[in-house]
Chain A
Amino acid sequence: MAETATTPTDSGGYDAPVSAAPAKPPSAFWRKVRWQALNVFAGAVLLYLFLPITVIIIFSFNDPAGRFNLTWNQFSLDAWKHPFGVPGLQHAVELSIGIALGATLIATVLGTLMALALVRYSFRGRSTTNFLVFTPMATPEIVMGSSLLTLFIAQASLISLGVWTILIAHIMFCISYVVVTVKARLTGFDLRLEEAAMDLYANSWRTFRRVTLPLIMPGVAAAAALSFALSIDDFVVTQFNSGNEVTFPLFIYGASRNGVPVQVNVIGSAIFGIAVGGMFLNLAYQNRKARREAAVERRMVAQAQTAEAHLV
């Protein structure tokens, strides 16, 4: 007698009709193994992703025997207590953060405007613009960096390599990412909300400020965060266009020959911690918001039901 067995697997669905018990335990076992194997592999990948990070954090607590922080010597909190104890490091970090803030601000504004245009309007050259936006994202950094360098050298009378050229370069490669991120958020936007606001006598600017902007803010914020991360970490484009200035990544590169100081691990771990912490908080906040909204919804449904019950 054929029985369709539905074992508790994800898309278990139909198994071919199986006769009687004896065959089942091994095949169920193997199915379990295969099922778990995928999870185990995924877990292994996660561990692999974190391997260098773990090394970085651990070695930030090292007190190396010499200049090179390559072998574990002994535990020490010195580097954490004096994170800027190495000359030039503080300036480099400050420069990186300053440029990241500036680039994020400008790129987010420019990119958001472009995204709004691309999503809401049809105009001639729309697909060209899309192409224009996508190309920098897919260009190898070395090509972007070297071509900008060529431009700056050719225009050496107008501008010399330094903070401004770094800033210009960073804005350039951040814009595309901002556009793409905000676009994704905008495509789901319900224009009727704006129309409703306009019907209620709001002018364009007020509508934008009170309706549109708050609604796209999460997308814009995500784009800004992405832009900041890209800028603060950038090495290749910066190396080509920095002249004599030294950002944090450039500092690390310069130090890598003679021994990277432990403080670099400290700052790296700190940035990592802050970023991950921020994302966790955001995640928790989203969760709570979702739960609260769900709770509100449930209450409203319950109220509606009781109201119905009364009517009936």
Chain B
Amino acid sequence: MSGKRMNELEALALMRGGMTRRDVLRRFGAAGGVLAAGSLLAACGGSSGSTGGGPSSSSGPVSIDKTVAPNWVFSNWPLYIDVKNKTDHPSLDKFDKQFNTKTTYQEDIEDNESFFGKVQAQLKAGQDIGRDIVTLTDWMAAKWVALEYCEKLDLSLLPNVEKNLVDALKGRSIDPTNDHLVPWQSGFTGLAYNPDLTGFEVTQVSDLWKPELKGKVTVLTEMRDTLGLVMLQMGIDPTKCTPDDAQKACDYMQPYVDSGQIRRFTGNDYAADLAKGNVYACMAWSGDIVQLQLDNPKLKFVFPQQGSMLWTDNMMIPKNASHPYNAHLWMNFYYQPEIAAMVEDYVNYVCPVNGAKEVLVKNDPSVANNPLIFPTQDSLDNAFVFKALTPEEELQFNQSFQALQGA
């Protein structure tokens, strides 16, 4: 489901301190299977160090007019909230009823970069971009925090967030003062395939290179996802990779691009090809596949044996938004387990709200047992956050990757 995910988790400061997965688990304890997806992100917890772009928001807490506005705008990725009858969103309806307001929900974020491109000029000029909440992936969220394009949150209005946010997502270095971002969903990047078409079970990235899949395989344009998975396949640690590693990964993939083994590089438009049968196996995002499985139960998503990639999308209030109070109310409202569970039932990504799983187990046990939504500890252990890149590194990584695509 959902739109394109630029899942690069190398949010500005994610692995600054050079913490490894193991460090993380030791620090936060490998608690049983609940929503510890963020535990990986815990890497951010308390890490120090700085590489360009340190936190720069120094303005004091926003004093907001605490009256509920009659309407407000929430921008999000497509298919990222509960849906009924194609157009209603029960969670939003409940919110509207409780607070006597009207939410305009827009699914106009397709891609982190292009959305940023759309609103950048207005943000720079200090104008209201017409949205009170936007949801962006870690690394882009980090940029907004650094550029002071999002408002400081009034934490006194967000007691539920304080209470129910999973520990792992607290105190991340992309949001050092902890008052700009509120996680919405997390997700995995792995492999999706149609076993009827492939004829065998896909278990690792190198399965994509089998001759019978020639021309029926796609990988992602998202550099951090594709290179991340390939590095894991090659035994390189994506949490610590260098530009040389990136080049090695690209060199490894080059013959498959040249020979036509890889059909093309996709955004989330792999979904169409997968559904149509043009593609038999591809790199994909977990939540998308859960949605596609509703239409075609045969499709499967696997966490590659060598490891998968992990990322989070965050809610934030753009600078000078006109209805920040409503935005706060919604963030607080969402962090109630029952509401989060409502959304989770449809969204099927990984929920950052403690207690949602328990609610779901009662109402929809099938979802509660879906390893893509409530990942097992094994999958979590084997999921990695891509290293936070400096602008220079990012340039080099991108250059290698662009050259690979022959673009």
Partner-B contacts on A (CB < 8 A): 65-68, 70-71, 85-87, 153, 156-157, 160-161, 243-244, 246, 254, 256-259
Which B-chain residue is minimally distant from A70 (CB atoms)?
B276
0/1 per residue, B43-86, Cβ < 8 Å to A?
A: 00000000000000000000000000000000000110000001
Contact across chains for A244 and B296 when beta carbons are under 8 A apart? no
Most-contacted residue by chain B among A65, A244, A256, A258 (CB, 10 A): A258
In angstroms, Cα B267 to Cα A256, docked, is: 12
Cα–Cα, bound, A244→B107 (Å): 12
User: In the complex, A258 Cα to B110 Cα: how many Å?
Assistant: 10
CB distance from B217 to the nearest CB of A (A): 19
From residue 1 to 24 of chain B, which have CB atoms closer than 8 A to chain A? 3-4
Interface pair A66/B292, CB less than 8 Å apart: yes
Residues in B whose Cβ lies below 8 Å from that of A87: 87
Q: Check B267 against A257 for contact (C-beta < 8 Å).
A: yes
Contact B272 A244 (CB under 8 A): no
In chain B, what residue has the closest Cβ to A246? B108
CB distance from B48 to the nearest CB of A (A): 38
Taking CB atoms, residues of chain B closer than 8 Å to A243 are 118
Taking a contact as CB atoms under 8 Å apart, the answer to whether B275 and A254 are in contact is: no
- Cα–Cα, bound, A160→B269 (Å): 31
From B86, B110, B122, B275, give the contact of A70 (CB < 8 A). Answer: B275
Across the interface, name the chain B residue whose C-beta is closest to A242. B118
26 A-B interface contacts by CB (under 8 A):
A65-B296, A66-B292, A66-B294, A66-B296, A67-B271, A67-B275, A68-B272, A68-B275, A70-B272, A70-B276, A86-B86, A87-B87, A156-B121, A161-B121, A244-B129, A246-B108, A254-B108, A256-B269, A257-B3, A257-B110, A257-B267, A257-B269, A258-B3, A258-B79, A258-B268, A259-B271
Q: Is the CB of B275 within 8 A of A66?
A: yes
Complex interface: chain A residues within 8 A of B275 (CB): 66-68, 70
Q: Which residue from A157, A161, A254, A259 sits with its C-beta under 8 Å from B272?
A: A259
CA distance A71 to B118 in the complex (A): 33
The CA-CA distance from A5 to B324 in the complex, in Å, is: 91
Given A67-B271, A153-B121, A256-B269, 14 new contacts (CB under 8 A): A65-B295, A66-B275, A66-B292, A66-B295, A66-B296, A68-B276, A70-B272, A243-B118, A244-B108, A246-B108, A254-B108, A257-B267, A257-B272, A259-B271
**Is residue B130 contacting chain A, with contact meaning CB distance below 8 A?**
yes
Question: How long is the Cα–Cα vector from A68 to B292 in the complex, in angstroms?
Answer: 10
B288: nearest chain-A partner, CB-CB = A258
Measured CB to CB, the closest approach of chain A to B164, in angstroms, equals 30
| Contact residues of B between 104 and 134, Cβ < 8 Å to A | 108, 110, 118-119, 121-122, 125, 127, 129-130
Query: Considering the complex, which residues of chain B in the window 296-321 have a beta carbon less than 8 Å from any beta carbon of chain A?
Result: 296
Q: Are A257 and B4 in contact (CB under 8 A)?
A: yes
Residues on B with C-beta less than 8 A from A85 are 86-87
Instruction: Specify which chain B residues have a CB less than 8 angstroms from the CB of A71 in the assembled complex.
Output: 276
Chain A residues lying within 8 Å of B276, measured Cβ to Cβ, are: 68, 70-71
**Bound complex: CA A70 to CA B274 (Å):** 11
**Distance of A246 from chain B, by nearest CB (Å):** 8
Partner of A67, one of B87, B125, B129, B295: B295
Give the CA-CA distance A259 to B125 in the complex, in Å. 35
**Nearest-CB distance from A225 to chain B (Å)?**
33
Chain B residues, CB < 8 A from A258: 3, 78-79, 268, 271
Residues of B within 8 A of A153 (CB): 121
B125 touches A254 (CB 8 A): no
Query: In the complex, are the beta carbons of A254 and B110 less than 8 A apart?
Result: yes
Please report the C-alpha to C-alpha distance between residue A66 and residue B269 in the assembled complex, in whole angstroms: 14
The distance from the CB of B284 to the nearest CB of chain A, in whole angstroms, is 14
A244 and B79: CB pair below 8 A? no
On chain A, the residues within 8 Å of B118 by CB distance are 243-244
A244 to B118 CA separation, bound complex (whole angstroms): 7
B129 CB contacts on chain A under 8 angstroms: 244
Chain A neighbourhood of B271, CB < 8 A: 67-68, 257-259
Interface centre among A86, A244, A257 (most CB of B within 10 A): A257
* Nearest CB of chain A from residue B319's CB, rounded to whole Å: 16
Of the listed residues B127, B267, B295, the one surrounded by the most CB atoms of chain A closer than 10 A to its CB is: B295
Question: Complex formed: what's the CA distance from A65 to B78 in Å?
Answer: 19
Contacts of A86 in B (CB 8 A): 86
**When the two chains form the complex, which single residue of A68, A244, A257 contacts B130, counting CB atoms closer than 8 Å?**
A244
Q: Write out, one digit per residue, whether chain B residues 279-295 have a CB within 8 A of any chain A CB (1) or not (0).
A: 00000000000001011
Question: In the bound complex, what is the Cα–Cα distance between A30 and B127 (angstroms)?
Answer: 74
Residues of chain A with a CB closer than 8 A to B127's CB: 160
B187 to chain A, nearest CB (A): 16
Residues of B within 8 A of A244 (CB): 108, 118-119, 129-130
Given A67-B275, A70-B276, A156:B295 Cβ within 8 A: no
Closest CB pairs A-B (n = 7):
A66-B295, A70-B276, A68-B275, A257-B269, A87-B87, A68-B272, A258-B78
A244 and B127 alpha carbons, distance in the complex (Å): 14
Chain B residue, CB-CB nearest to A253: B110
Cα-based distance from A80 to B153 in the complex (angstroms): 46
Contacts of A68 in B (CB 8 A): 271-272, 275-276
Across-interface contacts of B79 in A (CB, < 8 A): 258
Q: Which residues of A contact B267 (CB under 8 A)?
A: 257
Least CB distance from B135 to A in Å reads 16
- Kindly provide the distance from the CB of B131 to the nearest chain A CB, expressed in whole angstroms: 9
- Complex alpha-carbon distance, A68 and B118, angstroms: 27
